[in-house]
Amino acid sequence: MTIIAPLKTKLDKTSDISFCLDKSLYLLTQSRSDRFRNCAVPTKLSLVIDSMASSMLSLGSTSLLPREINKDKLKLGTSGSNPFLKAKCFSRVTMSVAVKPSRFEGITMAPPDPILGVSEAFKADTNELKLNLGVGAYRTEELQPYVLNVVKKAENLMLERGDNKEYLPIEGLAAFNKATAELLFGAGHPVIKEQKVATIQGLSGTGSLRLAAALIERYFPGAKVLISAPTWGNHKNIFNDAKVPWSEYRYYDPKTIGLDFEGMIADIKEAPEGSFILLHGCAHNPTGIDPTPEQWVKIADVIQEKNHIPFFDVAYQGFASGSLDEDAASVRLFAERGMEFFVAQSYSKNLGLYAERIGAINVVCSSADAATRVKSQLKRIARPMYSNPPVHGARIVANVVGDAAMFNEWKAEMEMMAGRIKTVRQQLYDSLVSKDKSGKDWSFILKQIGMFSFTGLNKAQSDNMTDKWHVYMTKDGRISLAGLSMAKCEYLADAIIDSYHNALLYWETPIEL
């Protein structure tokens, strides 16, 4: 269908040319002296000027810019075979404009992603002082991306073996699924031995969460997911897109810059029986504040009492403490109680496989039979979404975990990465304390764990970090310490101190993504 906008114009010194496009009306101002040879129209429009009419007009070339909406000026016309409509004549001139709009006129511009959009803005900045602390991605001391040596070894092995590129089964690579469940629960754990875990390979942590969300939507209609306030911003998108209702439980207390444990417990207790409770297995994003082992026990108690279903997001196993086992303690506590629950896993951070999109969804069931059925339905959900997952990352994980020497090498590299983050954390704290004479207590930075520091900077202060200091971070006040080097700690401390004390203060506490 071609949409035609009949043009009615009366030429004065400045003529108003109004036309209508798919319910949008634009008022165009055209100077008489300009020549009207071609029309550079905003990308939204494709505008064809009737050549006869345009020569009659003998107006100059110009850009037609939408000025304002003027509903009364003109009505929309649509055409069948003839792309030009006969427009009515007012005084001296008749002309027609055929407008071929995009079918996507109704699609508005999406805002940049609050996390991945920061990397795009960083790339566009030409200042040499710039620092990207937005996305949670590990960098070397030289601020370069890091490919683990053990990953390179595993890839070489794959080349030597001449591994093929055949489709994987819908559930993914069997050796990966075995390795990933064992890494989570511990090899030989009863839930694995008794085949009570339904594991399928997912498109990293995000894709695995999305599969579980689809399963919830299909088999637990109306059930609510409770997520922490705040949480990783994409959790809300995932549940929204899967049409799973969610609400928040209290988690972060800005007054203590710590866990609001009482609030958390009260909100979990209050949730309707049988709700899903989303928990960060370790290294809570964005706060870097985890419950203590004793608090985990109480959380498990209240979840069990209320018959809720825990849903773990484990994106940082090994990154919180440097130990894979220690960081899986929360998940294992729930497994030992014989509870049924979900665990989404990601190898983006701990193996640095960000772009390989490798992870898994595990559903711990109370029987092997239930696990078989759940797995069959997860496969059924995956098949029309992406058919089957990519093999490369799965082989890397299976090779690394399946070979004792490579497994040990991985653990050593992970300790190195976690250790470097701890060192810059300490250095940032030292720099802040030595430079800031206001007496502010910066010790919260040392108490937080994992890749991030939740600085408490509000939006205006975060904007100042970026606009004035070229430090890129998310607007909720989170900085990724994995993107910081020792050499940049002083500069960052200067930026934080200036932003904290001098940036216009909003009334708000840190915003959520």
Q: Is 88 a catalytic residue?
A: no
Is 507 catalytic? The answer is no
382 CB-side CA count, 13 A? 27
Structure tokens at 414: 């992970």
Q: How far is the CB of 511 from ligand KET (least distance, A)?
A: 15
User: Per CB under 6 A, which region of 84-92, 198-206, 366-374, 488-496 contacts ligand KET?
Assistant: 198-206
Nearest to ligand KET of 285, 330 (CB atom)? 285
The Cα–Cα gap between 332 and 418 comes to 22
158 burial (CB, 10 Å; 0-12 / 13-18 / 19+) is: middle
What tokens were used for 430? Answer: 């030292």
Q: Which residues contact 262 (CB under 8 A, 6 or more apart)?
A: none
298 catalytic per annotation = no
Using the minimum distance from each CB to ligand KET, give the nearer residue, 85 or 278. Answer: 278
**DSSP per-residue codes, 428-490:** HHHHHHHH--S----THHHH--SSEEE----HHHHHHHHHTT-EE--TTSEEEGGG--GGGHH
For residue 446 the two structure tokens come to 């040392």
Which of 153, 196, 232, 267 is flagged as catalytic?
A: 232
Whether the Cβ atoms of residue 24 and residue 8 lie closer than 8 Å to each other: no
For position 115 contacting ligand KET by CB under 6 A, the verdict is: yes
Residue 310's DSSP bridge partners are 277
Q: Does 348 bind ligand KET (CB under 6 A)?
A: yes
Q: Which is nearer to ligand KET, 153 or 280 (CB)?
A: 280
Of 96, 285, 321, 399, the one binding ligand KET (CB under 6 A) is 285
Min CB(480)–ligand KET separation in Å: 7
User: Half-sphere exposure of 40 toward its Cβ, with a 13 Å CA cutoff?
Assistant: 5
Over the window 135 to 154, marking each residue x when it contacts ligand KET by CB under 6 A and - when it does not, the resulting string is: xx------------------
Pick one of 211, 257, 315, 457: the residue that binds ligand KET (CB under 6 A).
315
Helix (H, G, I), strand (E, B) or coil at 426: helix
Choice between 357 and 375, CB closer to ligand KET: 357
Comparing CB distances to ligand KET, the nearer of 136 and 322 is 136
- Residue 204 CB, nearest approach to ligand KET (Å): 3
Examine residue 177 and tell whether it contacts ligand KET (CB under 6 A).
no
Of 63-71, 200-208, 251-259, 289-297, the window that binds ligand KET (rule: CB under 6 A) is: 200-208
- List Cα–Cα distances, 139 to 113, 199, 289, 470, 488, in angstroms: 21, 31, 22, 18, 13
Residue 284 or 395: the one with the smaller Cβ distance to ligand KET is 284
CA 175 centroid distance within chain: 29
Instruction: Tell me: does residue 204 bind ligand KET (CB under 6 A).
Output: yes
Active-site position among 8, 153, 196, 349: 349
User: Which of 36, 138, 185, 232 forms a contact with ligand KET (CB under 6 A)?
Assistant: 232
Q: Which region, judged by CB under 6 A, interacts with ligand KET, from 9-17, 49-57, 201-209, 371-379?
A: 201-209
Residue holding tokens 């900085």? 479
- Rounded Cα–Cα distance for residues 125 and 451 (Å): 24
Which residues participate in catalysis according to the annotation? 232, 313, 349
Contact residues for ligand KET, defined by CB under 6 A: 115, 135-136, 204-206, 232, 234, 280, 285, 313, 315, 346, 348, 354, 359
